[in-house]
């Protein structure tokens, strides 16, 4: 039986889907059913589903849905049934479905549109969610309702906070509206900040903070207490703890979304940051979507994945997609004969066939890793190396023949080695166990609908960013200053990852151990060879291809020096 995107298909249907997939790509012929979710992209899978049923497949149709058709429909019923009405054409009602075998669309829509013939098309489950999101929204409390809130009135904690329902209590409605808007706009974080005369929130979308939205100042403590209630934390700690960490779960059209909460005290009040871990939109695949690396990078990444034992480290600043890439690698490595254990805080992407462990506190780290080592693992994912203890345990796991995947915070790939040394690990130990040092960045992608062509790069930018004279006449694109509706007037639409890889071969390992080469000299040597993927070259390749611009590249990569 195949489980895919929240849908389950019986053995007969599953076998038919596998036949269609193997016709498309012979490598799927022997693929076990429990591996389909890890190995087959959404578009490929749903195209096979459509083909079996003789229906057209439309991967993108949320923007074409007629919002008026939702007036008589319950968004919860549509979400649970994986279907949505799209439009009316003559005497036909066009309905998008993710599961053509389900009778729910006919049973639910036929009584509501009795004079119309239902005609189905197949789309992605995510597109159905997008269509429903576009028309189903809670408006939130008015300014007068917020001003009228009794700041002493504390409600009870809510276990699974449903942000797509309406609440009579204005504070609950305010938080529900903010979180629903955050999910809808694909925000990665929500910030609440207090300044001298203003209390506001803002979203981080595609790496950038969005415009501020003000909230009455008197509500800052009331909002704080409400969020602490969601995490079942006592409100007494509000004024006593300098920093508070916690987690809670919201329900968005019955899709659970984990929220990682962090709050610290500031001069004027507090600063709350909530990271959204929307697992419903996680189906990461190397070479697809955000991880659509070029062929050169993918080849080197696959070579790294073939390493039988040792440490593979992904570096980069917070929010650069390090964990996402490692999860995509785990999906590729996930096989029934391989025992994979992960230790994360929190678990961001739960993959069938992999044992995920949630680190509740820093004190659990050492005993959990020690237990891992006695659990017969083949591959271990450690969320992050942050201190001497975690570094030593990663080294120990690699020395004993395990493949270890982890992350660390350094600007460049070569600095991974130096960072391990700063944590107290001897150079020779690092050199013998580290097999690949990788650095990743996420670069904003230009909106394809409003990006503006430009004839070459100006002299000032060529000098600042060390670009040769050929760029003076190279046709490129820049972001539209005012953007368009498709990109929410930002000029950009999403982000894509670029990667830098420094493999530590046996020869390089020996040179590093003996001190014959420094990490920086190794980086320079690899850059001069020009074969392995490099952040600067990858960014300029995207620029030349018209996918991004210099402003987006220079925001995440230091372009003021050349590799040459």
Look up the CATH number of the domain holding residue 230: 3.30.450.90
Quote the Cα angle for 83-85-88, to 5°: 155
pLDDT of residue 56: 93
- Domain identity same for 448 and 494: yes
Domain that holds residue 495: 289-556
pLDDT of residue 156: 46
What tokens does 85 get? Answer: 């009405």
Exposure of 157 in the CB half-sphere (CA atoms within 13 A): 12
Tell the residue number behind the tokens 């309905």, with chain if given: 95
- Alpha-carbon Rg for the chain, nearest whole angstrom, is 26
Contacts 24+ apart (CB under 8 A), 448-454: 448/493, 449/484, 449/486, 449/487, 449/493, 450/480, 450/483, 450/484, 450/486, 450/487, 450/491, 451/477, 451/478, 451/479, 451/480, 451/491, 451/546, 451/549, 452/477, 452/478, 452/479, 452/480, 453/477, 454/478
- Domain identity same for 201 and 63: no
**Is 561 contained in some domain?**
no
**Total structural domains in the chain?**
3
Report CA torsion sign: 346, 350, 351, 355: positive
**Is 454 contained in some domain?**
yes
What tokens does 68 get? Answer: 């008026």
**Is 562 contained in some domain?**
no
Question: Phi/psi of residue 447, each to 5°?
Answer: -65, 125
Contact 439, 534 (CB under 8 A): no
Exposure of 552 in the CB half-sphere (CA atoms within 13 A): 33
- Domain identity same for 265 and 305: no
Q: Which of 103, 135, 167 is the last residue of a domain?
A: 135
Q: How far is CA 102 from CA 8, 47, 107, in A?
A: 11, 17, 10
CATH code of the domain containing 528: 3.40.50.300
Q: Which residues of the chain have pLDDT under 70?
A: 38, 135-159, 235-241, 279-284, 287-290, 292, 346, 360-362, 530, 562-564
What tokens does 550 get? Answer: 């210099």
Contact 275, 259 (CB under 8 A): yes
**Is 549 contained in some domain?**
yes
Question: Under DSSP, is residue 378 helix (H, G, I), strand (E, B) or coil?
Answer: coil
Nearest to 368 by CA among 392, 407, 342, 391: 342
- Domain identity same for 525 and 384: yes
**Is 503 contained in some domain?**
yes
Contact 547, 446 (CB under 8 A): yes
- Domain identity same for 157 and 113: no
pLDDT of residue 256: 81
Q: Which of 229, 252, 280 is the last residue of a domain?
A: 280
- Domain identity same for 254 and 206: yes
CA 301 to chain centre: 19
Contact 319, 6 (CB under 8 A): no
**Is 563 contained in some domain?**
no
- Domain identity same for 26 and 83: yes
Q: Which of 109, 135, 161 is the last residue of a domain?
A: 135
Exposure class string for 121-154: b at 16+ Cβ within 10 A, else e: bbbbbbbbbbbbbebbeeebbeeeebeebeeeee
pLDDT of residue 138: 53
- Domain identity same for 222 and 252: yes
Tell the residue number behind the tokens 């979203």, with chain if given: 203
pLDDT of residue 364: 75
- Domain identity same for 260 and 294: no
**Is 224 contained in some domain?**
yes
pLDDT of residue 154: 46
Q: How far apart are CA 147 and CA 504, in angstroms?
A: 61
**Is 249 contained in some domain?**
yes
- Domain identity same for 296 and 444: yes
Nearest to 558 by CA among 437, 465, 440, 419: 465
- Domain identity same for 521 and 478: yes
- Domain identity same for 299 and 195: no
pLDDT of residue 148: 64
CATH code of the domain containing 92: 3.30.300.160
């Amino acid at each position: 039986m195949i489980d895919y995107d929240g849908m389950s298909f019986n053995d007969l249907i599953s076998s038919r889907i596998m036949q269609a997939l193997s016709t498309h790509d012979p490598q799927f012929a022997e693929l076990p059913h429990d591996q389909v979710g890890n190995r087959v992209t959404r578009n490929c899978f749903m195209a096979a589903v459509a083909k079996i049923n003789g229906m057209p497949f439309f991967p993108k149709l949320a923007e074409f849905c007629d919002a008026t058709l939702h007036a008589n429909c319950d968004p919860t019923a549509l979400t649970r049934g994986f279907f949505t009405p799209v439009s009316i054409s003559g005497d036909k009602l066009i309905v998008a479905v993710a599961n053509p075998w389900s009778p729910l669309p006919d049973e639910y829509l036929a009584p509501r549109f009795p004079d119309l013939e239902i005609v189905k098309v197949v789309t992605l489950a995510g597109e159905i969610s997008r269509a429903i999101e576009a028309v189903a929204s809670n408006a939130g409390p008015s300014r007068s309702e917020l001003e009228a809130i009794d700041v002493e009135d504390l409600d009870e904690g809510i276990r699974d906070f449903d942000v797509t329902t309406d609440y009579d209590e204005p504070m609950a409605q305010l938080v529900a509206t903010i979180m629903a808007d955050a999910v809808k706009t694909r925000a990665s974080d929500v910030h609440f900040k207090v300044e001298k005369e203003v209390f506001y929130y803002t979203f981080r979308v595609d790496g950038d903070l969005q415009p501020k939205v003000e909230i009455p100042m008197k509500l800052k403590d009331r909002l704080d207490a409400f969020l602490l209630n969601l995490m079942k934390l006592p409100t007494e700690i509000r004024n006593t703890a300098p920093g508070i960490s916690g987690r809670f779960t919201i329900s968005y059209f019955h899709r659970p979304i984990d929220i990682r909460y962090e709050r610290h005290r500031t001069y004027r009040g507090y600063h709350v940051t909530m990271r959204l871990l929307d697992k419903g939109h996680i189906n990461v695949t190397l070479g697809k979507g955000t991880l659509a690396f070029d062929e050169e990078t993918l080849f080197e990444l696959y070579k790294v994945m073939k390493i039988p034992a040792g440490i593979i480290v992904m570096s980069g600043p917070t929010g650069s997609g390090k964990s996402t890439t490692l999860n995509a690698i785990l999906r590729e490595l996930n096989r029934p004969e391989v025992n994979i254990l992960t230790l994360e805080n929190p678990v961001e992407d739960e993959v069938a066939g992999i044992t995920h462990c949630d680190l509740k506190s820093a004190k659990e780290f050492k005993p959990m890793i020690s237990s891992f080592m006695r659990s017969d693992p083949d591959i271990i994912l450690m969320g992050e190396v942050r201190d001497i203890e975690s570094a030593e345990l990663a080294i120990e796991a690699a020395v004993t023949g395990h493949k270890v995947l982890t992350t660390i915070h350094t600007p460049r790939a070569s600095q991974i080695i130096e960072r391990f040394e700063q944590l107290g690990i001897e150079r020779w130990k690092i050199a013998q166990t580290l097999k690949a040092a990788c650095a990743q960045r996420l670069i904003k992608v230009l909106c394809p609908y409003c990006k503006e062509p430009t004839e070459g790069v100006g002299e000032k930018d060529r000098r600042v960013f060390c670009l040769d004279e050929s760029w003076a006449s190279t046709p490129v694109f820049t972001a539209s200053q005012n953007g368009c509706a498709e990109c929410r007037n930002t000029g950009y639409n999403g982000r894509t990852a670029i990667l830098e890889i420094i493999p530590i071969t046996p020869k390089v390992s020996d040179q590093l151990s003996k001190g014959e080469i420094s990490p920086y000299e190794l980086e320079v040597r690899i850059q001069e060879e020009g074969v392995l993927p490099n952040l600067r070259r990858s960014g300029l390749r995207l620029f030349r291809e018209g996918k991004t611009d210099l402003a987006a590249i220079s925001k995440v990569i230091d372009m003021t020096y050349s590799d040459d």
